[in-house]
Structure 1
Amino acid sequence: MHKQKLQNTIISTKRLFLKRFSIEDALPFYTMNLDKEVMQFTGDTPFESTEEAKAFIENYDHYKKYEYGRWSVFLKDSEEYIGFCGLKFSEEKNEVDIGFRFMKKHWNKGYATESALGCFEYAKEHGIKKVVARAHQDNTASVNVIQKLGMTFSHFFEEHKEKWIQYEIHFD
């Protein structure tokens, strides 16, 4: 495995490693976000260019502010970028959420569950007591992952005239 990627690894699981976003991730990040199916339930809009993805990465301040954030996910065996997963603190809601997004060709392989469980270990080690997850009510794949993670239903809510579900998990 490439030494630099190993040095920058934040979380390592059986098949994956997670690291901070880097400029090298801009093109695959941009490409992933062009896929309408990937973006369907995110509430986000795709980047307009690779330059916009680079600017997002360069201005991403969660690592400095909170010592965690969303992380790029790579396959250990090939070092291929497959998406992102990680924790995000919302000042507005005063809570930490888990979020993930993967390239379609990597769906249904357990990567979202595996990377999210790695993030839960990170959360526990860093004193985070509660993590929430939100999913569009029609996003059955994400809801299934969230339930596999052992998270429990919290409530329904509406945002931008869309119905969403929130789950949570508590760590001792």
Structure 2
Amino acid sequence: MFILETKRLFLREFLLSDAAFLFELNQNPKVLKYTGDVPFASLDEAKNFIKNYTDYSKFGVGRWIMIEKQSYKAIGWCGLKNHNKHFIDLGFRLLESYWNLGYATEAAKACIDYGFSKLNYTEIIGRTMKANFASQKVLEKLGFQYSHIEQVDGLHEAMIYTQQNDKK
């Protein structure tokens, strides 16, 4: 079941069958470079991640697999993460071969619109490392404003961007 649809993408919840894709995605050191995450040690670890991913049931939102409509292939993930009702953050990750093609911006815009219009969030934040200029560019394209730098698990000295819900 698809949660969101854009011009070129479908976004849906993780399925156990996505484990091989997530394992592959997280094996690329360039993909993980600015995330603070470590690669899955095995396909079983990726499967366990999906089995134990409770954000959908807990918060009604989470990270969603991005499916390219033309190929019907998983190319990354994007979504909103509810940090125990303290704040909502936008995240995205793509296969390197899909970088700089506008997919992150397209998916992220749909997620932001969903968060503001369907879930009535008042604010969504984006967090990125200082050296991650590509993610900063995506956030700025989406209308996020730089706020400050703070210590974040795995992202020491993360740049924090915010976007307010103008419709509230």
1:34 aligns with 2:27: yes
Q: Is the 8 A contact 2:90 2:126 kept in 1?
A: yes
Of 154, 161, 169, the residue aligned with 2:163 is 169
Q: Is the 8 A contact 2:19 2:43 kept in 1?
A: yes
Q: Distance in 2 between matches of 1:76 and 1:147?
A: 26
1:111 aligns with 2:85: no
Of 61, 67, 75, the residue aligned with 1:68 is 61
- List runs of 5+ in structure 2 lacking aligned partners: none
Question: Closer, same or farther in 2 for the Cα pair 1:161/1:62, shift >3 Å?
Answer: closer
Secondary structure of the structure 1 residue equivalent to 2:136 = helix
Partner of 1:129 in structure 2? 122
Shift in Å at residue 163 of structure 1?
Answer: 2.1
Q: Distance in 1 between matches of 2:156 and 2:147?
A: 17
Partner of 1:82 in structure 2? 75
Q: Distance in 2 between matches of 1:108 and 1:161?
A: 22
CA deviation vs aligned residue, 1:140-168 (integer Å, no higher than 9, x gap): 01011111110001111134683210001
**Aligned residues: CA RMSD:** 1.2
Secondary structure of the structure 1 residue equivalent to 2:107 = helix
Question: Closer, same or farther in 2 for the Cα pair 1:31/1:81, shift >3 Å?
Answer: same
Work out the number of aligned pairs and report it: 164
Q: Distance in 2 between matches of 1:130 and 1:12?
A: 22
TM-score, normalisation: structure 1: 0.92
Partner of 2:89 in structure 1? 97
- List runs of 5+ in structure 1 lacking aligned partners: 1-7
Aligned residues with identical type, % of pairs? 39
Question: Closer, same or farther in 2 for the Cα pair 1:11/1:103, shift >3 Å?
Answer: same
**What are the within-5 Å matches in structure 2 for residues 52-67 of structure 1?**
52-67=45-60
Secondary structure of the structure 1 residue equivalent to 2:151 = strand
